[in-house]
């Protein structure tokens, strides 16, 4: 591949990076919101994302299996899948908080490792739980999203870029969700309560806020966003399995840290940066190293970036430097 070829595919690569970046941003918001209120890396969030994707797929399947209710309009199908995916994921997130994290909080554990290890346990448990459910139900767990000609239709853009209907939908939905979240957090009563709990749980409680209810709702919001991202991810990349939450989840967490964990605009910025880094890096790495290191090193690139960022700017791109609490 010559330099001119590489130059000509750059716009398309950037566009795909943007798409991936929005998906990462939506997942990263779930991590960052939970971290904001609880200072906990919610490892299980990657599984919440996956559950959203799987639940959305079940909607597609159920409404087009030829038995009973059938929906033929792919846009309506997608809308229903997004609602169900987001809803189920949000509920699972709330359930996880109630069953696994709240007992620890009530006991008042001193050790920070305890909730973190619980989160890892929940993440593993959910993976195989979904696998077991899918195995019992359909006797398979590597699932494939259906494709519709209407959603696959390709449009030609200037600079030689092409974009499919579903990609446009992904971007539009992601932007709408992000704007909605921004409004919710900054301009509503609930948002103010969330910010208060994130700042200081005890003082917030003194001001008449019920921290447990707010934490529950934070999990609901973050989880639903993750679930919607799961449906969009499935739609874009077609394959979803109980284990396909892990890598996007880790990368979205990386994005959240990159932008400054606990910081909502930071998570979006981090997601977009990471999406570009991975697509552009994956495409150009092979060229730069004369074919010796290809796109399989894209995740290595993402992790190495995370380490570099943390070394030189531990608070992330937009984060504030907070001293350690003694």
**Binding residues vs other proteins (CB under 8 A):** 39, 41, 100, 103-104, 109, 111-118, 120-129, 131-132, 134-136, 139-141, 246, 250, 253-254, 257, 292-293, 296-297, 299-300, 302-304, 306-307, 310-311, 314, 324, 326
Q: How far apart are CA 223 and CA 324, in angstroms?
A: 28
**Residue whose CB is less far from other proteins, 5 or 296:** 296
In terms of CB distance, is 3 or 311 closer to other proteins? 311
Separation between Cα atoms, residue 324 and residue 197, nearest integer Å: 18
Least separation in angstroms between CB 152 and other proteins = 30
Residue 160 vs 314, nearer CB to other proteins: 314
- The helix (H) or strand (E) run that includes residue 243 is none
CB of 171 to other proteins, least distance (A): 28
Which residue, 65 or 188, has its beta carbon nearer to other proteins? 65
Q: How far is the CB of 128 from other proteins (least distance, A)?
A: 3
Buried-state track 180-201, b at ≥16 Cβ within 10 A, e below 16 = ebeeebeeeeebebbbbbbeeb
Query: N- to C-terminal Cα distance for the chain?
Result: 56
Helices (H) and strands (E) in the chain, counts: 13, 4
Identify which of residues 131 and 195 has a Cβ nearer to other proteins in the complex.
131
Sequence-distant contacts of 162-167: CB under 8 A, at least 24 apart = 162/12, 163/15, 166/235, 166/236, 167/19, 167/236
> C-beta of 199: minimal distance to other proteins in Å?
19
Q: Whose Cβ is closer to other proteins: residue 118's or residue 263's?
A: 118
C-beta of 142 vs 183, nearer to other proteins: 142
What is the closest distance, in whole angstroms, from the C-beta atom of residue 293 to other proteins in the complex? 8
| Residues paired with 163 in a beta bridge | 155
Sequence-distant (≥ 6) Cβ neighbours of residue 226 within 8 angstroms: 26, 27, 30, 45, 48, 49, 52, 89, 93
CA distance linking residue 242 with residue 53, whole number of Å: 10
128 or 200: CB nearest other proteins: 128
Both tokens assigned to 227: 């679930």
In whole angstroms, how close is the CB of 138 to other proteins at the nearest point?
8
**Beta carbon of residue 299, minimum distance to other proteins (angstroms, whole number):** 6
Please enumerate in sequence order all residues whose Cβ is within 8 A of that of 44, keeping only pairs 6 or more positions apart, or say none: 93, 96, 100, 119, 122, 123, 126
Cα 139 to Cα 137: distance, rounded to the nearest angstrom: 6
Facing residues of 164 across strands?
A: 154
CB of 181 to other proteins, least distance (A): 23
């Amino acid at each position: 591949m010559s330099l001119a070829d590489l130059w000509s595919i750059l716009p398309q690569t950037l566009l795909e990076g943007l798409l991936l970046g929005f998906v990462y941003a939506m997942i990263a918001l779930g991590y960052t919101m939970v971290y904001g209120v609880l200072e906990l890396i919610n490892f299980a969030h990657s599984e919440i994302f996956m559950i959203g994707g799987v639940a959305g797929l079940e909607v597609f399947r159920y409404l087009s299996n030829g038995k009973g209710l059938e929906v033929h309009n792919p846009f309506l199908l997608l809308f229903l899948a997004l609602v169900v995916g987001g809803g189920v994921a949000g509920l699972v997130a709330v359930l996880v908080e109630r069953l696994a994290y709240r007992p620890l909080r009530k006991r008042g554990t001193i050790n920070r490792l305890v909730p973190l290890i619980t989160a890892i346990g929940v993440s593993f448990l959910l993976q195989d739980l979904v696998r077991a459910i899918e195995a019992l139900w359909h006797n398979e767990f590597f699932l494939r999203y259906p494709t519709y000609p209407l959603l696959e239709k390709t449009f030609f853009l200037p600079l030689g870029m092409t974009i499919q209907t579903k990609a446009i939908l992904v971007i539009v939905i992601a932007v709408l969700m992000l704007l909605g979240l921004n409004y919710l957090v900054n301009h509503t009563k609930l948002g103010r309560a969330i910010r208060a709990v994130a700042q200081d749980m005890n003082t917030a409680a003194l001001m008449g806020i019920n921290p447990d209810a707010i934490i529950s709702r934070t999990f609901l919001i973050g989880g639903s966003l993750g679930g919607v991202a799961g449906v969009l991810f499935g739609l874009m990349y077609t394959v979803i399995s109980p284990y396909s939450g892990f890598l996007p989840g880790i990368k979205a967490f990386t994005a959240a840290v990159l932008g400054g964990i606990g910081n909502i605009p930071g998570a979006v910025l981090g997601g977009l940066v990471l999406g570009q880094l991975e697509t552009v890096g994956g495409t150009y790495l092979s060229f730069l190293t004369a074919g010796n290191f290809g796109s399989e090193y894209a995740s290595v690139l993402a992790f190495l970036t995370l380490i570099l960022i943390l070394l030189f700017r531990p608070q992330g791109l937009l984060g504030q430097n907070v001293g350690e609490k003694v």
